[in-house]
Amino acid sequence: MSRTIDLRADIGEVLISEEAIAARVAELGRQVTADYRGEPLTLVSVLKGSLPFMADLMRQIELPVRIDLMEVSSYGGTATESSGLVRIIKDLSASIAGEHVLLVEDIIDTGLTLNYLVRYLRGKNPASLRICTLLDKPARRLAEIPVDYRGFEIPDQFVVGYGLDYGERYRNLRFVGVLRPEVYSAPE
């Protein structure tokens, strides 16, 4: 059993409310809709963290949209640090050659994961490849990433909720919040 079932109690500060997320996602959807001018678009999201963002964003885009999902994990990282060595657990299910692709991410931290993914997807010869991230934590960037659509820039804090996890938990919170430091140090 988990130490606590009150996930909300583990959150110190709500950084981005459910309402603020919804409003920003709607804005991003309008921007994407306007930019692609009726062109068909393939949204590629990266499981599992991007799942709620993808589900909400796709419904705010008024274009002929196709979706595909990838899942990656990074080798040798910790629960709060990515290593940049990426393993593809689930690949695209259809070709993206000649397609306009928008990569939908939950968060860019060091940028190492996305740097790998961008190279990988470019190798599949899409007509274009742009990047949309809900959260951007620029303070710790190690790889330069051209971000086309950004929901929120956040400070260098480890956040959970709206898809983001710590040890696979908290993904189901409706907001983005900062975990209390005790949660990191507490034994399971």
Binding interface with ligand IMP (CB under 6 A): 49, 82, 106-114, 158-160, 164
The residue annotated as part of the active site, out of 10, 56, 109, 136, is 109
Q: How far apart are CA 70 and CA 93, in angstroms?
A: 8
The CB-nearest residue to Mg ion is 165
Give the residue with the Cβ less far from ligand IMP, 42 or 82.
82
CA distance 92 to 115: 17
Q: Which is nearer to ligand IMP, 42 or 45 (CB)?
A: 45
Query: Angle at the Cα of 144 (from 90 to 126), degrees rounded to 5?
Result: 50
CB of 97 to ligand IMP, least distance (A): 25
Minimum CB distance to ligand IMP, residue 157 (Å): 7
Query: Of residues 146-175, which lie at the interface with Mg ion (CB under 5 A)?
Result: 165
Q: Which is nearer to ligand IMP, 67 or 118 (CB)?
A: 118
Lay out the site mask for Mg ion across 10-39 (x = CB under 5 A, - = otherwise): ------------------------------
**Residue 35 a catalytic site member:** no
Report whether 105 contacts 46 (CB < 8 A): yes
Closer residue to ligand IMP, CB minimum distance, 107 or 173? 107
Question: Considering CB distances under 5 to 8 angstroms, the limit depending on partner class, which of ligand IMP, Mg ion, none binds residue 111?
Answer: ligand IMP
126: left (phi over 0), alpha (psi -120 to 50) or beta: beta
Please, what's the b/e burial string for 105-130 (b: 16 or more CB within 10 A of its CB; e: otherwise)?
Answer: bbbbbbbbbbbbbbeebeeeebeebb
CB of 67 to ligand IMP, least distance (A): 18
Strand order across the beta sheet in which 176-179 lies: 11-16, 176-179, 159-160
Question: How many angstroms separate the Cα of 123 from the Cα of each of 26, 29, 44, 97?
Answer: 31, 27, 15, 9
Nearest residue to 89 (alpha-carbon basis) of 107, 71, 67, 62: 71
CB of 29 to ligand IMP, least distance (A): 21
Which positions lie near Mg ion, rule CB under 5 A?
Answer: 165
| Residue numbers annotated as active site | 109
